[in-house]
Amino acid sequence: MPSITVKLYSVFFKMRLKNRLQGWIQTPPDESSNQEGVRTRPEEPVSASNPSFTDGIATKDIRVDPSTALSVRIFLPESALLPSERPQPKSKAEESSLKSENKSDQGYTPSRQNCRKLPIMLQFHGGGWVSGSNDSVANDSFCQRIAKLCDAIVVAVGYRLAPESKYPAAFEDGLKVLNWLGKQSNNSTGDEPWLVAHADPSRCVLLGVSCGANIADYVARRTVELGKELDPVKVVAQILMYPFFLANEPTQSEIRLANTYFYDKAICLLAWQLFLPKDEFSLEHPAANPLAPNRGPPLKLMPPTLTVVAEHDWMRDQGVAYSEELRKVNVPAPLLDYKDTVHEFATLEMLLKTPQAEACAEDICIWVKKYISLGCHEFSY
Catalytic residues: 210, 313, 343
CA distances from 180 to 67, 72, 220, 235 (A): 15, 11, 15, 14
Cβ–Cβ under 8 Å, residues 74 and 192: yes
User: What is the DSSP secondary-structure string of 217-270?
Assistant: HHHHHHHHHHGGGGTT--EEEEEEES-----SS--HHHHHHTT-SSS-HHHHHH
Cβ–Cβ under 8 Å, residues 36 and 67: yes
The Cα 245–Cα 214 span in angstroms is 7
Q: What is the DSSP letter of 113?
A: S
Residues 6+ apart with CB under 8 A from 229: none
Cβ–Cβ under 8 Å, residues 204 and 237: no
CB atoms within 10 A of CB 51: 18
Residues 6+ apart with CB under 8 A from 256: 314
Residues 6+ apart with CB under 8 A from 281: 272, 273
Three-state secondary structure call for residue 281: coil
Pairing relationship of beta strands 305-310 and 335-338 according to DSSP bridges: parallel
Q: What is the DSSP letter of 89?
A: P
